[in-house]
Amino acid sequence: MRIDIITVLPELLESPFNASILKRAVEKGLVEVQVHNLRDYTDNRYKQVDDYQFGGGAGMVLMIEPIDKCISRLKGERSYDEIIYMTPDGATLNQKMANQLSMSGNLIILCGHYKGVDQRVRDSLITREISIGDYVLSGGELGAAVLCDAIIRLLPGVLNDETSALTDTFQDNLLAPPVYTRPREYKGLKVPEILLGGDLPNIEKWREEQALSRTRKLRPDLLE
């Protein structure tokens, strides 16, 4: 898989891909992530990529020309399954969307900034708009990092058996069961007896029951 991220703040996207699971996925060649600085796609001598909005109003708007130039260059090199715009107006990211997007070959993610992007970008260049939740961020970069993390960890070979995505919360619409590690007892707080005996079929049954009761209690909407 290849993910191209277009942004005016490339430095915000350095660390997410430079640690832990995402770093390993990149190093193993399971995903290629390229971050493009939108300012490299303007002929403007001040590298300006935003402007005031027509009709008046506060806030700068990202211009269509550099975005079109960047996307056109990328599309000239390979085809893309989706051209995603990160925006609070978009469909809220969930596990089902992450699962679906993880089966893509190539993705472009455009990060908005300031007051957003010229509507013509959204009308003519974007195939999908995604939000990471009902709150407004200063830009799409952190949302893009969240989206990439949710997608990349699902790629075959990224997680090993121990960290398998199959047992994640939200797979099967259930929250994950509780987990414990050593010590067996801490300040009187004990690990459930069932987990200590090595009776694997009964442990599995207990985990399923816990997942179900936890979901009923914390996120009944998932069971509807």
Which residues bind to ligand ADE, rule: CB under 6 A? 86-88, 112, 131-133, 135-137, 139-140, 143
Quote the Cα angle for 190-174-197, to 5°.
30
For the CB of residue 2, give the shortest distance to ligand ADE in the complex, in Å: 21
Residue 78 CB, nearest distance to ligand ADE (Å)? 25
Cα–Cα distances in Å, from 41 out to 36, 73, 78, 120? Answer: 9, 10, 18, 17
CB-CB contact of 84 with 130 (8 Å)? yes
CB of 98 to ligand ADE, least distance (A): 14
Which C-beta is closer to ligand ADE: that of 139 or that of 177?
A: 139
CA dist., res. 79 & res. 58, Å (int): 37
- Of 151 and 174, the one with the shorter C-beta distance to ligand ADE is 151
Nearest residue to ligand ADE, scored by beta-carbon proximity? 143
Here the tokens at position 183 are: 């010590």
- Name the minimum Å distance from CB 72 to ligand ADE: 23
Residue at 81: amino acid letter: D
Measured from the CB atom, the residue of 59 and 133 that comes closer to ligand ADE is 133
